[in-house]
Structure 1
Amino acid sequence: MSAQATFDGNREGDAATLRFAGSLSLPNLGDLPERLSAYDGKVERIDLSAVDRLDTIGAWTVYRFARNHGARIEGLDDNGKHLMEQVEAADHPVRTRPQHVPAFTRVLGEIGEATVAVTHTMIGLLGFLGATALAFLAVLRHPSRFRFNATVQRFEVVGVSALGIIGLMSFLIGIVIAQQGAVQLRQFGAEVYTINLIGRLTLRELGVLMTAIMVAGRSGSAFAAQLGTMKLTEEIDAMRTIGVSPMEALVLPRVIAAIAMMPLLGFYASLIAIIGGGLLCWANLGIPPVTYIQRIREVVPITDVYVGLVKAPVFGAIIAVAGCFQGMLVEGDAEQVGTRTTAAVVQAIFLVIVLDAFFAVFFTWIGWN
């Protein structure tokens, strides 16, 4: 068992030499730090040649005393000298207060960091989109590598399972549009134009847009969480090891399912919204269902249906690619799964709204208005 740490002094004139003995380790220090703190007088040398053992706590205790009294440490072997050098290298003041930065500089820096992050994300998303296109071309060249069962399962998850919630949402949106439109148009005695508002707004814009937002929150987040969990459990690395491409096996079925199901879900949502609006027109405005349907056929051009069907697959591709891209970026810990899932939903909804604005300008430019 190691001896308790002790020290004694040998004074030579005004200066003294302290000689330590025993074990300068945490279990054997005892009240040595307190006795050293109470020591008063000038110390020139600290002799550690009689020390049996020296650990980091003991080295820090001796070093701090030597630093405060301006003494030099002697009598250490090579290991002891190395440990003391490490303790000395770690002895630097800790900044307790952050450096003051002017508010304008701080805000400008945050804007710059956000801009750089968005740029890197968009570049990565475009690269991932290109990798998805290359995987699709590879599957076209080798049809036997197409994951038919996985794609059909994604059809069910993205499309069939979403019919209930999308139908309910669209039905309520149709009622809201009809009610608010009727209230505003009643001021001008033009309640009949509520039908125009419902038909054109749902088929051209809100049907597909609200469906895309719902799919982004439901399926896009699921894609990110699923791939992120597989990334954490190293299943994706195992797939690469056995020669299976994750882009072909995991990403492509999800992208194909989203692209194929979005036009169907968007058209379904538009029809349900029209039905909801029609019921309110019948109950509130006294417009019979037959008159309502006939009026819808008269005022809604077929181009509105084409606009919705053209936008839907693009929205589906963006949602699936954003979800899979964020899922493949997961690394480190489980917290990344939640962070990347949130980023996938926000990114998908943002891009869908931006593209919807682009499509609105484009279709107006070509005369589909």
Structure 2
Amino acid sequence: MVSPRPAVQALPAYRPGRNPADLAREIGVERAVKLASNEVAFPPLPAVVRAIAAAAAETNRYPDNGAVVLTAALAERYGVDPAQISTGCGAVTLCQELAQAYTEPGTSIAFAWRSFEMYPLLAQVAGARAIQVPLVPGREGGPADTHDLDGLLAAIDDTTRLVFVCNPNNPTGTAVRRAELKRFLDAVPATTLVVLDEAYREFVSDPDVPDGVELMRGRPNVAVLRTFSKAWGLAGLRVGYLIAEDPAVAEAVRKTHVPFSVSMLAQAAAVAALASEDEVRDRCAAVVAERARLTAALRERGLDVADSQANFVWLPLGEQAGSLAAGLEARAVITRPFAGEGVRVSIGAPEENDAFLAALDAVRGRQPDDAPLR
């Protein structure tokens, strides 16, 4: 019998958020609300739809493997050389390519925990050791929800090739501030690459949460990850990008790139999205306003919710996380539970957030179970 590598055999399968149509059929309701995958509730930008339609006529051809037009647009936007950029099939693919480019058995990858769930899996596949540094309370008396940069720095050793700093952090939504992140970056050994994973950067409203591209400049061992899946509304097309201060970092990632993994439609859509930045900013502002409204409503209900800088909120419920998420799902609202830790709730449209609050009240006994979802 042919068997995969033991490290691959031991990998848990990735579990995406449930399909709302499947849940609606299962429990016999007209519709279900999905607040599990941090998507934006807005439809694709009009310019994106037009670009996809135009590109569809050429899909008998391979896409531009170097994503030259998209790379040039990103280079102009961020004021960097195109050689400093690498594109990929979502930011998560770039994470995998970084692991392939920089780690091997006998090396290590360091990151906070809990954070983006792919980090330990990347280390496992690469045969590298995963160094997980526990989160710490971001405020006095609060739950552990924030990066411990001092602890992360202390955990780095001479085997550490990659450090991921997810800022804002997924799934807790908290963010580290400029001064502490600058101190951390200045102290990391030059032989260790720090990757600032900023998938949710566009939703940041705290001016003291830094733009990673600004901190990257002048630091050759720093790179920044961004994605079009969240704020730009291209989750279904899968486009991410890396910007590195040292072009050699981007070159190493490009060497591990699976050819043609960013499709023709995805590239056209991303270029069109960048040209619609004002509209994207307006949409992000609407998400931030809903985030504030939902956070206030949850706090009024006695829940300990930290200030989020992403397009989701985190409910630190500990052992109650699984049962609450199951109760919400039974009432046609899909969230993302992390067993024994908490529940992540994406910011949806106002009516979706209202449906979540009504279901939450029903689960917690604040209103009858048969109360209609608003």
TM range, normalised to the smaller chain?
A: under 0.3
Structure 1 or 2: more helix by fraction: 1
Structure 1 or 2: more strand by fraction: 2
Bigger RCO (CA 8 Å, 6+ sep): 2
